[in-house]
């Protein structure tokens, strides 16, 4: 609570601490501008129809099939640890963070349906 108080004293009452993953991770003080809500997985609902789930569902053939339906043939399941919730989440991700639909080209290679 003391860190949050210092953060608000610096940047105003609407400032908040935000965890930034990557490397060893860090916590920064930021003004509320909606980026915090977008960057924290707990604010984003899981897409159950795409094979996403709480816990590790990467070995589920059904979840993998659902993910490929959402993200294309190169979609895959990945586990992400959410430190502030203390749980793993299985996420469906596409190539380079984007979805490739059936029939689209990836550097000259054709994806088959």
Residue pLDDT, tens place only, 56-110: 999 999 999 999 999 999 999 999 988 777 889 999 998 754 444 443 333 333 3
44/57 Cα distance (integer angstroms): 18
* Residues whose CB falls within 8 Å of the CB of residue 103, separated by 6 or more in sequence, listed in order: 110, 111, 113
Both structure tokens of 16: 């908040």
What residue spans of 1-113 are helical by DSSP H? 2-11, 35-39, 61-71
16/36 Cα distance (integer angstroms): 9
Mean pLDDT, residues 6-27: 81
> Across all residues in the chain, what is the average pLDDT?
76
* Cα 103 → chain centroid: 26
Can you give the pLDDT at residue 110? 38
- pTM value? 0.49
Q: What percent of the chain has pLDDT over 70?
A: 73
Quote the radius of gyration of the chain (alpha carbons, Å).
18
């Amino acid at each position: 609570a003391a860190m949050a108080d210092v953060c608000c004293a610096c940047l105003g009452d609407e400032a908040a601490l935000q965890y930034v993953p990557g490397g060893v991770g860090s916590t920064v003080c930021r003004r509320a501008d909606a980026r915090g809500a977008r960057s924290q997985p707990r604010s984003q609902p899981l897409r159950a129809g795409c094979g996403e789930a709480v816990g590790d569902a990467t070995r589920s053939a059904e979840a993998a099939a659902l993910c490929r339906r959402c993200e294309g043939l190169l979609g895959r399941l990945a586990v992400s640890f959410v430190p502030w919730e203390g749980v793993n989440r299985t996420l469906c991700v596409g190539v380079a963070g984007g979805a490739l639909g059936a029939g689209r080209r990836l550097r000259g290679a054709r994806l088959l349906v």
